[in-house]
Amino acid sequence: MVCGNCGATIADKAIVCYRCGTPTAIPDVPRRTPPPSPARPWLVVVLLVAAAGVLGWLAAGEVAGSVRQIVYAAAGLALLAAGGWLAVGPRRGKVR
Ligand SMILES: [Zn+2]
């Protein structure tokens, strides 16, 4: 075959041109298929932070105790984290 870059005659099985180094063809190497559109962890994080903030705010309004507020916020955060994980996890796991 003839190199498409420099015109040198090279072997048909050559992967690259011996003269200029230009690849003659894309090597037929099984590539790793890129991961499908990734989930949006940032969206989950934003939702979790916002929800935790709202929960903490609500808890602060009801009870003045800072410890309770933290407990409420932590509980809400844990619940939302679990929900977010369930929402995102299964899709990640089902990669063909
Ligand atoms: Zn060449």
Q: What is the pLDDT of residues 36-58, one digit of tens each?
A: 766 677 777 888 888 888 777 77
Residue 65's pLDDT is 67
CA–CA separation, 41 and 80 (whole Å):
13
The whole-number average pLDDT for the span 10-21 is 91
Q: Which domain covers residue 6, as residue numbers?
A: 1-27
Domain count, the chain: 2
* Residues 50 and 78 grouped into a single domain: yes
Per the model's pLDDT, the better-predicted residue between 65 and 86 turns out to be 86
How far is the centre of ligand 1, averaged over its atoms, from the C-alpha of 5 (Å)?
Answer: 5
Strands (DSSP E) along 22-65, which ranges? none
Residue 64's pLDDT is 58
How far is the centre of ligand 1, averaged over its atoms, from the C-alpha of 25 (Å)?
Answer: 12
How far is the centre of ligand 1, averaged over its atoms, from the C-alpha of 13 (Å)?
Answer: 14
Share of the chain above pLDDT 90, in %: 12
* Residues 48 and 74 grouped into a single domain: yes
* Residues 7 and 48 grouped into a single domain: no
CA–CA separation, 25 and 20 (whole Å):
14
How far is the centre of ligand 1, averaged over its atoms, from the C-alpha of 29 (Å)?
Answer: 22
Phi, psi of 83, deg, nearest 5: -65, -45
Maximum mean pLDDT: which of 7-16, 47-56, 77-86:
7-16
Q: Would the CA dihedral through 20, 25, 26, 27 be positive or negative?
A: negative
* Residues 45 and 81 grouped into a single domain: yes
